[in-house]
Homo-oligomer: A and B are copies of this chain.
């Protein structure tokens, strides 16, 4: 038995999210189906991040207890032959017995892409939020900086969740503009994120950039005293899980 770790990228467009659920097409289900063919036995994987329906990943990580060991150089290609084209295993390696992709993650990096062209850029439509309206990037960047650090993000999670500890730490929120490609990218690096937190922060940043929200209103939302200043939730297709960070990988 080996504890095998795989790095996975996927186009979330066609999936009801990463995690297995009844009567839904999920990335995890596709991966487990392909692994079962290779190992000729049921295989259950632990995914690092439970990305939502329509959200993409370049660097999702999962581990599983392999019935036998397959060379790390060969496993990705073998899996990719069995997987649909919109899921690709980029790499594999063996880890120590105790390694768990979710519990051992010490950070995650998400990107959120915004298409700034007047009419949508068709080849980017599945991977960016079309937002051609004028934005004040200076104000947007200042708002982004307010989210860095440790805060109670309870007004930045989806309604109805039962999580009570809503304090999280964001190491960095960066805003980069690719003028040539007309793409604005927000990058969020944090210890962990609440359900839909990145998308709600993104919606908030856009409102701040439009001048609809002032910096003090954003601060009030972060202080929990102005819940209506958070959101809206940006659509899933602009979001991508870029990387999961571990102490030793």
A76 at the interface (CB under 8 A from B): yes
A127 at the interface (CB under 8 A from B): yes
CB atoms of B122 and A86 under 8 A apart: yes
Q: Which of B9, B11, B89, B122 contacts A9 (CB 8 A)?
A: B122
A90 to chain B, nearest CB (A): 5
Copies in the complex: 2
A16 at the interface (CB under 8 A from B): no
Which of chain B's residues have a CB closer than 8 A to the CB of A117? 90
A139 at the interface (CB under 8 A from B): no
CB atoms of A80 and B119 under 8 A apart: yes
Q: How far is the CA of A11 from the CA of B125 in the complex (A)?
A: 10
A3 at the interface (CB under 8 A from B): no
CB atoms of B11 and A88 under 8 A apart: no
A89 to chain B, nearest CB (A): 7
Which chain B residue shows the least CB distance to A10? B122
CB atoms of A125 and B89 under 8 A apart: no
Which of chain B's residues have a CB closer than 8 A to the CB of A97? none
Which of chain B's residues have a CB closer than 8 A to the CB of A58? 121-123
Q: How far is the CA of A152 from the CA of B91 in the complex (A)?
A: 45
Q: From residue 126 to 158 of chain A, which have CB atoms closer than 8 A to chain B?
A: 127
CB atoms of A77 and B123 under 8 A apart: no
Q: How far is the CA of A89 from the CA of B121 in the complex (A)?
A: 10
A211 at the interface (CB under 8 A from B): no
Which of chain B's residues have a CB closer than 8 A to the CB of A175? none
Which of chain B's residues have a CB closer than 8 A to the CB of A77? 119
* Most-contacted residue by chain B among A11, A76, A90, A123 (CB, 10 A): A123
CB atoms of A9 and B123 under 8 A apart: yes
CB atoms of A85 and B123 under 8 A apart: no
Q: How far is the CA of A121 from the CA of B10 in the complex (A)?
A: 9
A109 to chain B, nearest CB (A): 15
Q: From residue 82 to 96 of chain A, which have CB atoms closer than 8 A to chain B?
A: 85-91
